[in-house]
A = this chain, B = another copy of it.
Amino acid sequence: MVTLAEVAQHAGVSASTVSYVLSGKRSISANTRQRVERSIRELGYHPNAGARALASSRSNIIALMIPLRTDMYVPVMMEIAIAVATTARTHGYDVLLLTGEEGPDAVRRVAGSGLADGMILMDVELDDERLPLLRATDQPSVLIGLPSDTTGLTCVDLDFRATGALCVEHLAKQGHQDVAVIGEAPAVYERHTGFAERTLDGLRSRARELGVRLLHRPCEGGYDAMAVTLARILDERPDTSGIIVQNESAVEPLLALLRQQGRAVPEDVSVVAICPDQVATQASVRLTSVSLPAQEMGRHAVEHLVAKLAGRGSDEVVLLAPELTVRSSTGPAPSRP
């Protein structure tokens, strides 16, 4: 283990000089800087993280709390996590992975121990139990997701209300009057996950405005659950000509079932998905969809947090505008017989 002192000695300067070369917090002559940098290279010096953290009371670590449950949006979570990690690195931060398991205690632990300088919380619920703690410890943080009360918080999320509205609009514009919404698993709604409720909100209010009849049904993923859900929907509203899906693992089963029943997409039924682009483009029908900008969310979250840590940046809610990409799963509503 090479230490700062050894580098200093090797370069013939004092330890503090080396430190200032490293941090750039005081001006150093070009000559000295080069000598020091050379010594660093020759000795293979790496600053010791613990010592640094102790002396500067900054760990250069960002904590990322991801949900323990993997019942939804796994690839999206992963994409966000990776975006967070890579963006953080470009700002000189590393990422500590916390699972939801510990719950609020993790916030206490991380804030208390100075393990991380700030944290990013994913999968925030409308009334999340971690929020009071977050406010109390004034731990710099950014949420991915939107709780019901955002005072004193910085949040980044897709504008799901606008997303819902956008989906309905697209179908309405093509003449669809009866639209079914296939949602996330019931548990997601019971848990009051913000994005699910806000999507529904957007869907409903826009539908009301446009005179579209909307039928919302939660749905566990998978083929069997989808079969039951679809049957019920068509039973209740036989004239359904548009379907909006917000559940990755229901997408392909839905398409398979429609095909099996002889309902052509988009001739008989139009389908709009709210899902990652990858799912939309790889499905058996290229789906018209609103994509989940996972990377962008991760990047934004880190950048806001870094700004906060630098003393810049303020509490703020950033809602990313949804974009609907038209592919081949939507078309004009069939004329009623």
Contacts and interface: CB of A to CB of B under 8 A. Distances in A.
A313 interface: no
A335 interface: no
19 contacts: A46-B109, A48-B54, A49-B115, A50-B50, A50-B52, A50-B57, A51-B54, A64-B97, A66-B82, A74-B75, A75-B78, A82-B99, A85-B97, A94-B96, A95-B97, A96-B96, A222-B281, A256-B284, A259-B260
A221 interface: yes
B282 A221 contact: yes
Interface string A159-176: 000000000000000000
Contacts of A101: 85-86, 89
Contacts of A79: 70
A286 to B, nearest CB: 9
Contacts of A75: 70, 74-75, 78
A70 B294 CA distance: 13
A59 B78 CA distance: 26
B49 A59 contact: yes
A54 to B, nearest CB: 4
Nearest to A1: B114
Given A222-B281, A256-B259, A46 B97 contact: no
Interface of A is mostly: helix
A113 B70 contact: no
Interface in A45-103: 45-54, 57, 59, 61, 64, 66, 68, 70, 74-75, 77-79, 81-82, 85-86, 89, 94-99, 101-102
Interface in A259-298: 259-260, 281-284
A249 interface: yes
